């Protein structure tokens, strides 16, 4: 295995800059997830690293070898595509063996590796089948098998689970996590599914419009989002936002809310007229039983998921969503007073997170 270093990579299609001077590193053995919305350049970036697309400048290093000048097959990496790309007329065993065969491996070695890979992925009983005789999850496993059989230095995964149903996706997520542990593999994994990113990653890189928004451990991305984009993109239901300003007493006043931020505001932010945005996650809104409420509104909709409830609160502003325990005594039409759990408020100035 090896580390991956990407430096100053840019890419344009015609006039449109799709990747904008990206630099990042994936450490040896790290599971790194590239997370971002559709069209932000994730696949393009993987294809550049794999050598399937040419960048306009920059360098790519795998281990201690510069690879951006090398042909794709000499880069010693494996690419698992979203579409699996299995050969329909070949059996599972032949699909697995294919990449070794084209590289001229000895027959006995190929057989040994096919058996080993099949055992690792639980494909032992399926080796004689054709892809069309497999379920989605099994096909997915064969696609992963074709990647790991070569023992490459680096794995690139492009949304490998997005074709599967929710249950299977959860199951395969667990399998990938175990596989990563066992192989100690270096992985760059692309997804727009934040649950996948949060559960699989050692490190998440959040991408928007071809630029890195934040890099960090999942907990860091979730609890200390660097800017409004990351705060709004990660988390479901989405973080609640309100615009307003802080008065002389350190009270944030929005259209339909007020929060005491006197302890949180950095000294360099002027009180009085500085426009700010505050953010609060649905699970951090609680009922203000007594004492001052930050928000007063009316329950509009209650989505009961069994394990918890999403309570939509209508107010004078754009409304709020709170995530509450199933026994929370809230009914549509009822009045509700909310406050923020201690220390759970986020403050943004010009789109960037500030505060202590
Ligand atoms: N060959 C191409 N020619 C022109 N534009 C392209 C080409 N390939 C990609 N693009 C554009 O580049 C942008 C990034 O595409 P890319 O496929 O990398 O997005 P993505 O992040 O992988 O999205 P998704 O999550 O939908 O797969 C998109 O706006 C896309 O339309
Ligand atoms: Mg893509």
User: Is 188 near ligand 1, meaning CB less than 6 Å away?
Assistant: no
Q: In whole angstroms, give the CA distance from residue 274 to residue 278.
A: 12
pLDDT at 16: 85
Q: In whole angstroms, give the CA distance from residue 157 to residue 164.
A: 15
The residue whose CA has the least distance to atom 25 of ligand 1 is 38
Phi/psi region, residue 210 (left: phi>0; alpha: psi -120 to 50; beta: rest), is left
CATH superfamily of 240-354: Nucleic acid-binding proteins (2.40.50.140)
Q: What atom of ligand 1 comes closest to residue 210's alpha carbon? A: 14
pLDDT per position as a tens digit, 3-56:
999 999 999 998 888 999 999 999 999 999 999 999 999 999 999 999 999 998
pLDDT at 120: 83
The CATH 3.40.50.300 portion of the chain extends over: 4-227
The CATH 2.40.50.140 portion of the chain extends over: 240-354
Report the CATH architecture of 4-227.
3-Layer(aba) Sandwich (3.40)
Q: How would residue 204 be classed by pLDDT, with cut points 50, 70 and 90?
A: very high
User: Is 39 near ligand 1, meaning CB less than 6 Å away?
Assistant: yes
User: Is 42 near ligand 1, meaning CB less than 6 Å away?
Assistant: yes
pTM metric for this prediction: 0.92
Give the SS3 label for residue 218.
helix
pLDDT at 257: 94
pLDDT per position as a tens digit, 249-305:
889 999 999 999 988 888 877 777 788 999 999 999 999 988 789 999 999 999 999
Does the pLDDT at position 355 exceed 80?
no
The answer to whether the beta carbons of residues 320 and 297 sit under 8 Å apart is: yes
Ligand 2 ion: nearby residues, β-carbon < 5 Å = 43
pLDDT at 348: 95
Does the pLDDT at position 192 exceed 90?
no
pLDDT per position as a tens digit, 309-349:
999 999 988 899 999 999 988 899 999 999 999 889 999 99
pLDDT at 57: 84
159 CA from centroid of ligand 2 (Å): 7
Counting ligand 1 atoms within 8 A of each CB, the residue from 19, 37, 42 with the most, and so the one to mutate, is 42
Residues of the chain above pLDDT 70, percent:
100
231 CA from centroid of ligand 2 (Å): 22
202 CA from centroid of ligand 2 (Å): 21
pLDDT at 4: 97
Q: How would residue 207 be classed by pLDDT, with cut points 50, 70 and 90?
A: very high
pLDDT at 171: 82
Does the pLDDT at position 135 exceed 90?
no
97 CA from centroid of ligand 2 (Å): 27
Q: How would residue 83 be classed by pLDDT, with cut points 50, 70 and 90?
A: confident
pLDDT at 170: 85
User: How confident is the prediction for the chain on average, in pLDDT?
Assistant: 92
- H or E element, residue 205: strand 203-208
Give the SS3 label for residue 284.
helix
Report which of 18, 27, 12 is spatially closest to residue 205, judged by C-alpha positions. 27
Answer with the residue of higher pLDDT: 123 or 312: 312
- Dig out the tokens for 288 from the structure: 């203000």
Q: What atom of ligand 1 comes closest to residue 37's alpha carbon? A: 25
Give the SS3 label for residue 133.
helix
User: Is 48 near ligand 1, meaning CB less than 6 Å away?
Assistant: no
The residue whose CA has the least distance to atom 6 of ligand 1 is 13
The answer to whether the beta carbons of residues 238 and 37 sit under 8 Å apart is: no
Q: In whole angstroms, give the CA distance from residue 316 to residue 333.
A: 15
Q: What atom of ligand 1 comes closest to residue 47's alpha carbon? A: 18
Biggest distance spanned by C-alpha atoms of the chain:
78
Ligand nearest to the CA of 191: 1
pLDDT at 162: 82
Ligand nearest to the CA of 37: 1
């Amino acid at each position: 295995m090896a580390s991956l270093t990407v430096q100053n990579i840019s890419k344009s299609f015609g006039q449109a800059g799709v990747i904008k001077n990206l630099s990042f590193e994936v450490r040896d053995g790290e599971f790194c997830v590239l997370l971002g919305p559709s069209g932000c350049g994730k696949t393009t970036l993987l294809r550049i690293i794999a050598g399937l697309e040419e960048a306009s400048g920059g360098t790519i290093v795998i281990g201690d070898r510069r690879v951006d000048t090398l042909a794709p097959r000499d880069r010693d990496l494996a690419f698992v595509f979203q579409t699996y790309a299995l050969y329909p007329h070949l059996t599972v065993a032949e699909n697995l063996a294919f990449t070794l065969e084209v590289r001229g491996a000895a027959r006995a070695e190929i057989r040994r590796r096919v058996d080993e890979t099949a055992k690792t992925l639980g494909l032992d009983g399926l080796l004689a089948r054709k892809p069309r005789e497999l379920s989605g999850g099994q096909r997915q496993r064969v696609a992963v098998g074709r990647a790991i059989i070569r023992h490459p230095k680096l794995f690139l995964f492009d949304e490998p689970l997005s074709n599967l149903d929710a249950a299977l996706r959860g199951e395969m997520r667990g399998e990938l996590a175990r596989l990563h542990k066992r192989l100690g593999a270096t992985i760059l994994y692309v997804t727009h599914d934040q649950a996948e990113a949060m559960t699989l990653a050692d490190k998440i890189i959040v991408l928007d419009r071809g630029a890195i928004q934040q890099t960090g451990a999942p907990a860091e991305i979730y609890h200390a989002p660097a800017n409004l984009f990351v705060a709004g993109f990660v988390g479901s239901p989405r973080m609640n936002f309100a615009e307003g300003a802080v008065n002389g007493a350190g009270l944030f006043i929005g259209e339909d809310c007020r929060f005491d931020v006197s302890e949180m505001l950095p000294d360099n932010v002027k009180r009085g007229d500085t426009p700010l945005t505050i953010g609060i996650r649905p699970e951090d809104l609680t009922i203000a039983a007594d004492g001052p409420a930050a928000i007063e509104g009316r329950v509009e909709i209650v989505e009961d998921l069994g394990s918890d409830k999403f309570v939509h609160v209508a107010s004078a502003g754009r409304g709020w969503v709170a995530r509450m325990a199933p026994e929370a005594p809230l009914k549509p039409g009822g009045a509700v007073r909310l406050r923020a759990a201690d220390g759970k408020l986020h403050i943004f100035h010009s789109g960037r997170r500030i505060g202590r």
